[in-house]
A and B are shown apart, each in its own frame.
Chain A
Amino acid sequence: MWWTRLKALIVKELLAVLRDPRGRVILIVPPVIQLVVFSYAATLEVRNVDVMVLNRDAGRWGYELVQRIEGSPTFRKVAFTDSPEILHEAVDRQTVLAAIQISPTFSRDIEAGQPTDVQIILDGRRSNASQIVGGYLNQIVAALSASTPAGRRSEASAVGVVPRNWFNPNLIYQWFMVPNLIGSIALLIGLIVTALSIARERELGTFDQLMVSPLRTHEILIGKLLPPMMIGLVHISLYIAAAIAVFDIPLRGSLFLLYGSSIVFMASIVGLGLFISALSMTQQQAILGAFLVLVPGMLLSGFATPIENMPGWLQPVTYINPLRYFLVIVRGVFLKDIPVSQVVTLTIPLALIAVFTLSAAAWLFRKRLE
């Protein structure tokens, strides 16, 4: 009996979102496009950089340095100038990210065994890219330095560092980004669909009709919670399939563990969404409220920047963020085959958050009814 009622409500809720053909399209197509576009766009690697060189040196070492810069795959265009003003202007207007100045005595100093230097100006407005490009230029200069007569003498004694990358041998950025996007887009979809569910009925006035129906309060709650969870899980499944089939990301851990934690994750999100929904009087309030949760949720999850880099007083705030735990699970299960015990350790806080948000939503929902 209660099942028939509940089923009817779930079907109605799914229809409310999926009935409109545009609604169906917007729920499926943009998230998939996003996954593809953003996973290629969101890279902190630096490529195709334009630089300018002011070479005052007429000798072969200055020429050699320019050759090596031009040969590096990081740089796209190497422009030349004789005038410090043009160099200055190019950096100011961001036509180049870095400017390299070679002094007139560069080759002479090297031949004479005298220490010499190369000046590099980098654009601090893009400090992240600048730092990386600065690192590349330093490597090029160090290699040149090692091939000078004085450098060759000490080469045999240089200490080498042999790197090995575990879990992602070629350090492919998408292997990091796609698992992050799986969690983030599921958060976005789950939160907004749930946040709107009650707010829409309230705005359209159909909520009172629902209240006088034979449905019990907890049945209405469950009926409101399950459809967004189902939609979220369909999304997660789509993305997992895309991660494997389109991006060739190895799934090293167990799919079962991934789904188990996904269900708990979606439960915590849907609880949060319902809480916002119960608090809002209009759809606009629900959407903007969801947004106010969504943005900090994404930024404090370790997605954009590592949590360890945040100031010490802010790090504890991330403990209440469900996405923080889920991203570690998704990345871990995909790339590292993390042990079951760690998945459980990370799922427990998710479950606690779910219990808290769901009961808070139920409490607020009941309170609003009275």
Chain B
Amino acid sequence: MSRSDRTRRLGTLVRKEFYQIVRDPSSVLITLVLPVVLLFLFGYAVSLDTTRTRIGVVIEDMTPVTQDLAASFQASAYFDVVYGRDRREFEEALVLGRVRGIVVIPATFAADFAAERNPALQVIVDGSEPNNANFVQNYTQGTVATWAAMRRSLSAGKPPPITVEQRFWFNPELTSRFFLVPGSIAIVMTLVGTLLTSLVIAREWERGTMEAVMATPVTATELLVGKIIPYFLLGLASMTLCVLLAVFVFDVPFRGSVLALYALCATFLIPALGQGLLISAATKNQFLASQLALMSAFLPAFLLSGFLFEIGSMPTAIQWITMIVPSRYLIPSLQTVFLAGDIWPMFGRAIAVMLLMGVVLFVLAARNIRKRIA
């Protein structure tokens, strides 16, 4: 067996796999259409940026002070206000979700405020959406504090003793698109690397064509490498498309280097493909493979990677689970490459961990396949 023989065989395998990909419109769909759809959704639909929230403001007693306070809610950029005289007017609207909160300015407010007798107002929020509830509470407090400070300074004129000067690095406007779009690239690569790969190879097992290939002089290693090269390239192509869209359509800044970007993404594809191979070899059935890929790769990439939800806030047991999710290591680095620049100590660690995971998954997959043949 000469080296050229081996290269030729590998080339044939890669070509065969490649034809198979191009022939099926669904592979094209998932590598080209799905990334566009996903990026579009993360660019526009999934927005953690806060917009105006509709609230009811109840003024129990109309006085110049309470009217002025109520007007400051309308003037705030965070609220869309409906006025009323009684909280019962809004109770049904709160149940139906038409308003997210009710701010009640009690009848005693004006007198308490004038006498400096700890004036207070009440805010009733819809706890069935805790995020919105917190938001309404916090911004009510903010609006009221600003209003009170303005009002007092008009009469007395004293700034608060300590102020906070707050700066957000890398993303000063706090545009959620800027970190969601880079993060969704990891999800796209998970789809191509794990879901598509596991499906295609599971089909070969299902139909028995895998055994047919095994009967040829091809070795198990050659077979594995031949299988994954086309998907590796497909993953990189799909990622390139995403990056171009991110930069040119979604205006996400790109402050790092292209080298770092490809080094990170190429490394990430190793565990992603390894997982796809392992799933297909273990299930040999397209339905099972798709379910497993969805549950062990797509959903964790989405929910357990720190992409949308902070890992530090999860219970300890779940934080341990996130350690074996490859995208957990890729996503912060991707966000850094886009927004901050090349921070190699951080990338180096991510690359090392992903490589290690990749090796483990490939060894497991190779073992599984060899066992099937024996």
Contact = CB atoms under 8 A, between A and B. Distances in A.
B25 A285 contact: yes
B169 A124 contact: yes
A196 to B, nearest CB: 6
A292 B47 contact: no
A44 interface: yes
B164 interface: yes
Nearest to A164: B124
Contact of A284 (B42, B130, B145, B203): B203
Interface in B293-327: 294-295, 299, 303-304, 306, 308-310, 312-315, 318, 321-322
A365 to B, nearest CB: 19
Contacts of A212: none
A110 B292 CA distance: 60
B29 A292 contact: yes
A259 interface: no
Contacts of A17: 287
Interface string B44-70: 111111110110000000000000000
Interface in A319-335: 328, 331-332, 335
Contacts of B74: none
B286 A159 contact: no
Contacts of B42: 299
A163 interface: yes
B134 interface: yes
Given A47-B312, A119-B167, A166 B117 contact: no
A124 B162 contact: no
B16 interface: no
A63 interface: no
Interface stretch (A4-12, A134-142, A219-227, A228-236): A134-142
B128 A309 contact: no
B369 interface: no
B82 interface: no
Contact of A116 (B97, B137, B162, B339): B162
A41 B295 contact: no
A70 interface: no
Contacts of A210: none
A130 B168 contact: yes
B20 to A, nearest CB: 10
Interface string A17-38: 1001011001100100010011
A42 interface: yes
A275 to B, nearest CB: 15
B39 to A, nearest CB: 11
Contacts of A331: 128-129
Interface residues of A, number: 111
A218 B160 CA distance: 74
A300 B41 contact: yes
A48 B343 CA distance: 24
A124 B339 contact: yes
B318 to A, nearest CB: 5
B310 A126 contact: yes
A129 interface: yes
B84 interface: no
B76 interface: no
Interface stretch (A170-178, A237-245, A264-272, A354-362): A170-178
A115 B4 CA distance: 78
A145 B161 contact: yes
A115 B165 contact: no
B170 A300 contact: no
A122 interface: yes
A48 B312 CA distance: 6
Nearest to B163: A117
A161 B144 contact: yes
A332 B92 CA distance: 13
B47 A309 contact: yes
Given A42-B309, A309-B49, A171 B133 contact: yes
Interface size class of B (residues with CB under 8 A): 35 or more
Interface stretch (B174-182, B264-272, B351-359): B174-182
Contacts of A182: none
A132 B234 CA distance: 39
Contacts of A80: none
B167 to A, nearest CB: 5
A81 interface: no
A342 to B, nearest CB: 6
Contacts of A71: none
Interface in A167-200: 167-169, 171-173, 175-176, 188, 192, 196, 200
Contacts of A135: 138
Contact of B24 (A126, A282, A308): A282
Contact of B292 (A26, A130, A311): A26
Interface stretch (B30-38, B208-216, B222-230): B30-38
Contacts of B50: 309
B163 to A, nearest CB: 5
Contacts of B97: 328, 332
B45 A120 contact: no
Contact of A117 (B120, B132, B164, B321): B164
B285 interface: yes
A124 B160 contact: no
Contacts of B275: none
Nearest to A76: B312
Nearest to A99: B169
B127 A167 contact: yes
B127 A166 contact: yes
Interface in B99-153: 113, 116-134, 137-138, 140-141, 144-145, 147-148, 152
A140 to B, nearest CB: 9
A53 interface: no
A44 B286 contact: no
A339 B95 CA distance: 9
A38 B303 contact: yes
A254 interface: no
A125 B127 contact: no
Contacts of A49: 312
A85 to B, nearest CB: 14
A156 interface: yes
Contacts of A246: none
A304 interface: yes
A122 B286 contact: no
A144 B162 contact: yes
Interface centre among A110, A192, A309 (most CB of B within 10 A): A309
Given A22-B283, A30-B292, A30-B295, 16 more contacts: A20-B288, A37-B318, A38-B299, A113-B161, A120-B166, A122-B169, A125-B171, A125-B340, A138-B166, A160-B120, A161-B141, A167-B126, A283-B203, A284-B199, A289-B26, A331-B129
3 nearest CB pairs, A to B: A124-B171, A168-B127, A160-B120
